[in-house]
Structure 1
């Protein structure tokens, strides 16, 4: 382990974690254009996000073990190459099927760069300092939703929706060259034969009720976020007639709310505990979903965005507390548990949102339903069964 990682190494880690949010947020303003150009419904164009999320979550089951077997740099390079090629395929797409396939591949690429980055953090900073560095990386991720749609709007207006994917490809090529030239391997792969996929190791995590419960909470919170992200362009631009610039302004305001909530959430957890944070976060989602439903007939931006602001705070509390509680019992199996948690959050939320969006309701109601899915787990939080799970995991 390197005692004092250089600024260059830290910057490399930041660049590697940006692939995923960039692939989602930069082209959001272009979703109506994609639907129109490829002659598909808005809900089908939204699947380009949920398919990406699905493959990114599924890929974590393999990217983690592969990073242990072949090294962080190798997995990072492979991820960048897959990301660049799939972004270029998306740029060339002449049908929605072609675009969906490209996005599915791109999710695997983004997953690999993310896993390589976070695994490198553990190698370089050790158990005592890695938490702080991960907070910095998550902060960098949170800034992308505030900035990427601004650039995406400008690109779409001046060069068309395909230019967003060409920028992703260019970004991947530049970062890929930097990785090849500058990134140092932080992990010495074992010379012993290793199974890339060990079902028994995953089952030892999945059989724990506390993991299933808290991972499900994280899934539902991520699904609420994803439902907003995929529906916002349809609601704000298609239904309400906002320009790309106005859409970007509202999206950026919510990104700022997210950044503030992410910064405040750890302090709230320290003060009141994770259990109360989960209860408060769930209540905020229920309030947000109820407000979204009641205001669904008002076709003004604030009627849609105000409930979203509330849900953003609730999701921040749930994701922070829920992830910590899901991973807490596992010690030496933390990597396996983290991979499964990623599968729940990314793939699980993608599947749920894609399914709910197929229902024949207006988009605001779809988002409200997604937020209100948290009601059953909120009720479980109040039971003795939940307390028993916690005692068993301690």
Structure 2
């Protein structure tokens, strides 16, 4: 089991590594490739597009041919695309490589959740996903530091060479250590009707909706934090970086404590507590703005968003996959695509409407906390998955 979890951890780290490691090299990339600011922004969007466009394929294929081939293929694609990005000499070539990085990362992301669904029961899966979530929170903190150290001695292509090496090692480790998990379910449930595992089950749809709101909350926080901390509160770049690292530590600590918290309070109480924290966060931002309180209270709100997300996300993902024994890959891909699309759509819509950064957070947090509590009461985890 430790070997399986090690493989899952390496696979899940590929996605955030592709997002965060290269950021410190953006000025050098722009100079050497003669890339515009639009190109640099597109490099992130096209990475997510690569993930979203092929996740369904990865999920369906893994449900048919097994998890291990998709894990190996995803890591291999990411490794090759990363090495290709290191060799690019034009912005178009760079964006092409970034798209295929996203494809590889998407394969790895989807298959990781499917493997955990196959290998672990609901309680263990919730705890493991919470810990994995904490480890992935470390990447945005450590990746810029590693990137800076690489740039001290090498040029920006070394950032992508590093990604290629990590993905290559992940591929080799999975080849040696990862046992196929899907056939176990297949053998044990030969009589199971796949049509009984509907994506329209009440449990899946409810957790899909809640996780979409949770992901949107954390991504809105990440996107609005520079505006609030730098533009409104006057933080320097160094102060902002330090603040984000400290704030991330709250999420990490919460994630690592989740196995104990779940054993003590249980999944239901933890989820309700996480949603109450979202509402408290909204109150902190609202009263800080309305009553002209010390703006440093915004940092308290940011920290609580991270804590609330860490408390709920792993549990919710585990519950969402609970109805699926044969179609866990497909379910994982649908979850990931909807989360990406919903969060991008919300941030884009609020931006087009001219909603301020703080109000974007307040609106989302209030709606999320109220709607999610209602859904959790209406569709408890113990409820048998009903067909719609």
CA separation of 1:119 and 1:183: change in aligned 2, threshold 3 A: farther
Structure 2 unmatched runs, 5+ = 184-192
Deviation at 1:345, TM superposition (A): 2.8
1:267-288 Cα distance to aligned partner (Å, 9 max, x none): 4344444343333222211221
TM-score normalised by length of structure 2: 0.74
Alignment partner of 1:147 out of 142, 146, 153? 142
1:185-237 Cα distance to aligned partner (Å, 9 max, x none): 623998xxxxxxxxx96895332223212211111111111112233344434
Moved more, 307-316 or 225-234: 225-234
- Could you tell me whether the CA contact under 8 Å between 2:67 and 2:181 is conserved in 1? no
Moved more, 331-340 or 16-25: 331-340
- Could you tell me whether the CA contact under 8 Å between 1:68 and 1:187 is conserved in 2? no
Alignment partner of 2:168 out of 176, 199, 206? 176
Deviation at 1:19, TM superposition (A): 1.0
Match in the other structure for 1:317: 311
Say which SS state the counterpart of residue 180 (structure 2) adopts.
Answer: coil
Deviation at 1:182, TM superposition (A): 7.4
- Could you tell me whether the CA contact under 8 Å between 2:24 and 2:148 is conserved in 1? yes
1:139-184 Cα distance to aligned partner (Å, 9 max, x none): 432322332233346667x699x93x74134322353156348722
- Could you tell me whether the CA contact under 8 Å between 1:17 and 1:114 is conserved in 2? yes
Match in the other structure for 2:10: 15
Match in the other structure for 2:358: 364
Alignment partner of 1:307 out of 297, 301, 312? 301
Separation in structure 2 between the aligned mates of residue 177 and residue 354 of structure 1, nearest angstrom:
37
Matches within 5 A, 1:256-271: 256-271=249-264
Match in the other structure for 1:278: 271
Structure 1 unmatched runs, 5+ = 191-199
Q: Do residues 218 (structure 1) and 211 (structure 2) align?
A: yes
Name the count of aligned residue pairs. Answer: 371
Match in the other structure for 1:353: 347
Separation in structure 2 between the aligned mates of residue 170 and residue 335 of structure 1, nearest angstrom:
28
Separation in structure 2 between the aligned mates of residue 351 and residue 206 of structure 1, nearest angstrom:
22
Matches within 5 A, 1:22-101: 22-27=17-22, 40=37, 49=44, 52-53=47-48, 55-57=50-52, 59-69=54-64, 72=67, 74-84=69-79, 86-87=81-82, 92=88
